[in-house]
Structure 1
Amino acid sequence: MAKNDKILEHQNVNGVMLSLKVDGRNSSPKSRQFTISYATNKEKKATWPMTSLCIAILVNILALSYVRISLTILAVIIIVLSFLIFFWVTHSVQSEILLVIPTVGIQSSVKYVVGREDYFVPWSSIDDVIINEVIKMSRVLYFLTLLVKGNCESNQEYESTKLIPLFKYTKPRLVMLESIYSELQELLTEQIDGAGDTGDN
């Protein structure tokens, strides 16, 4: 049984309304699931790529019925349209989910129209969580980023740090990221303090 709280709605960097939900499970009170998805009342605006794709297909069908073209060109048009439909179905992001289970790990998931992609980081490999500032195309973007410990391949004595950006497809604004960041830091520090107390005893 999960307790579901919608805690924040805000626009992302592209002006699309996002909804942040935090799920805390009764069976594991320390675990958290952060879900960022497109707000239900704004989903129609997010479906404009599908509408434009349908219009493009209809226009091409009408053009084919009135214009005489060779079979080679017709085959190329069909292949391109098929590729566009396949790309839209497999790469249209619906939501991004971050599941945090202290002492076990953090799983980042991207849910597409068809299927999902998961990435898991063990708890022992997590060094810290930061909000990273990135300048892209004359815009300042913020990403919630995991700092993950890993051994250098060339020299095993030194550890390298890997950066794993989270919520990179939905692109929430800083307000939403700060809300997630504060809870993640609380979970991380609780585990560090708990491990320190156990070591003292």
Structure 2
Amino acid sequence: MSNQNSVFDYENVNGVKLALKVDTGNGSPNSRLFTISYKNEKNKSSWPKKSLFFAILFNCLALTFIQISLTAMLVIIIVLSFLVFFWVTHSVQSESLLVIPTVGVQSSVKYVCGREDQFVSWSSIDDVIINEVIRMNRVLYYLTLLVKPVNQTTIEAESIKLIPLFKYTKPRLVMLEKIYSELQNLLTETQKGDAAKGSGDIG
């Protein structure tokens, strides 16, 4: 089965360059794999690397020129270890969304070390929306899945769960609209197929 790949270049809300890669037909004819990654790694990771470098430099100078106790030295080593651990485990490299109709949606966050996955079954997806959030005098947009509980026959508004997607790379609205349109098309096609099967069973 042939794969069709498309790459689009955008910027996120902070002006960092992003690349949206869309893989079509990856394991299923109607499947989609949306991957948002940082196009310029230097712009993405300059602040954490600089902070880590200056923290290590400052503490090395303090250890060299200032006589400190063993307890203070242990505290400095623990703080440095925590900074290194935090940078390795929380520095996001890319975010991806694998959509397989009738099966489910899997969102993944890739870090410098390791990744985090979250799977939502197709039957529990009620809708997909672009949610508007006001944060620090800025308007941010998030692609959000509306997930309904599978084991309940009556669905109340309070029981619907919101799962935001691409919350770390923070793409602009134009990138989210492209992903949103394809997701809506897949949802609509699946609903039409289910309706057609249901009408055929009745007949």
In the alignment, what sits opposite 1:191? 190
In the alignment, what sits opposite 1:47? 45
Paired residues of 1:131 and 1:181 also in contact (CA < 8 A) = yes
Where in structure 1 do 4 or more consecutive aligned residues deviate above 6 Å? Answer: none
Write the distance in 1 (CA, Å) between the matches of 2:150 and 2:199: 28
In the alignment, what sits opposite 1:115? 114
Q: Deviations over 1:143-163 (max 9, x none)?
A: 0000000179xx974442100
- Cα drift, residue 62 of structure 1: 1.8
Write the distance in 2 (CA, Å) between the matches of 1:3 and 1:68: 63
Write the distance in 2 (CA, Å) between the matches of 1:87 and 1:6: 33
The letter for the 2-side match of 1:3 is: N
In the alignment, what sits opposite 1:73? 72
Paired residues of 2:123 and 2:150 also in contact (CA < 8 A) = no
Q: Residue 16 and residue 104 in structure 1: after superposition, are their counterparts in 2 closer, same or farther (change >3 A)?
A: same
Matches within 5 A, 1:82-121: 82-121=81-120
Write the distance in 2 (CA, Å) between the matches of 1:98 and 1:4: 16
- Cα drift, residue 142 of structure 1: 0.2
Write the distance in 1 (CA, Å) between the matches of 2:170 and 2:4: 22
- Cα drift, residue 7 of structure 1: 3.2
In the alignment, what sits opposite 2:148? 149
In structure 2, runs of 5+ residues without a counterpart are none
Residues 1:12 and 2:27 are matched in the alignment: no
Paired residues of 1:147 and 1:162 also in contact (CA < 8 A) = yes
Q: Deviations over 1:41-94 (max 9, x none)?
A: x21122211133123202211221011111111111110110010011001100
- Cα drift, residue 26 of structure 1: 5.5
The letter for the 2-side match of 1:19 is: A
Paired residues of 1:4 and 1:21 also in contact (CA < 8 A) = no
The letter for the 1-side match of 2:171 is: P
SS for the counterpart of 1:47 is helix
Write the distance in 1 (CA, Å) between the matches of 2:36 and 2:8: 10
Write the distance in 2 (CA, Å) between the matches of 1:119 and 1:140: 26
Write the distance in 1 (CA, Å) between the matches of 2:92 and 2:130: 22
Write the distance in 2 (CA, Å) between the matches of 1:60 and 1:186: 55
In the alignment, what sits opposite 1:140? 139
The letter for the 2-side match of 1:113 is: V
Structure 2 length-normalised TM = 0.91
Paired residues of 1:151 and 1:158 also in contact (CA < 8 A) = no
Aligned length: 197
Write the distance in 2 (CA, Å) between the matches of 1:6 and 1:186: 17
